[in-house]
Amino acid sequence: MSTPEERLAGLGLAVPEVAKPVAVYVPAVRSGNHVYTSGQLPMRSGELMFTGKVGGEVTVDEAVECARQCALNALAAIRAEVGELSAVKRVVKVVVFVASTPDFTGQPGVANGVSELLGEVFGDAGVHARSAVGVTALPLDAPVEVELLVEL
C-alpha cells in the first residue's frame, strides 16, 4: 500500500513547504485526534497563483487549480503538525471559500478541485463533509481559500 505522499507523487504533485501566514495565526492546530487548518490561500513559491473574482478576472479552471493548491498547502500544514500524512485516518470536513462575482453560482464545481484531490490522495478516507461558500473578497484578493479538518 502506498502512502499519501507517494500517491501525490504519482499525480505529479508534492506537499509544498508550509505557507507563511499572512497575519497573526498558525497554519494548523492539533486538538486531541483532530487537526484544524487555518484558511489556506493558493500560494505557490510565496506568491498567489491568481488574483481577482471567479466569474470575472479568474476562470473556473484557474479557480479549480487554485483550490487544488490550497488543498496542497493545507496538507503541508497538517504534515508539519503531525509528521506524515499517513497519520490522517479520515478527512472530516472541507470548507471552500470562493471570491466570486455576484452572478457566479459555480462554487461547488470549484470546491470539487479539493474534494477530488483528497479522494485521490486518501481514497475512502478522503470522503468528507463540505461547504462551498461564495464571498465578496478574500485576503490579498485571492480567488479561493480552503480549510481542512482531519482525524488522526
When the pLDDT of each residue in the chain is averaged and rounded to a whole number, the result is: 97
User: How far apart are alpha carbons 19 and 47 in whole angstroms?
Assistant: 10
- Burial code (b: 16+ CB inside 10 Å, e: under 16) for 63-82 equals bbbbbbbbbbbbbbbbbebb
Q: What is the pTM of this model?
A: 0.97
Confidence of residue 19 (pLDDT cuts 50, 70, 90): confident
User: Which pLDDT tens digit goes with each residue over 56-77?
Assistant: 999 999 999 999 999 999 999 9
The pLDDT value given to residue 20: 84
Domains present along the chain, CATH in parentheses: 28-151 (3.30.1330.40)
| Model pLDDT, residue 47 | 95
Residue with cell 495565526: 25
Buried b (16+ CB within 10 A) or exposed e, 87-115: bbebbeebbbbbbbeeebebbeebbbbbb
CB 146 within 8 A of CB 40: yes
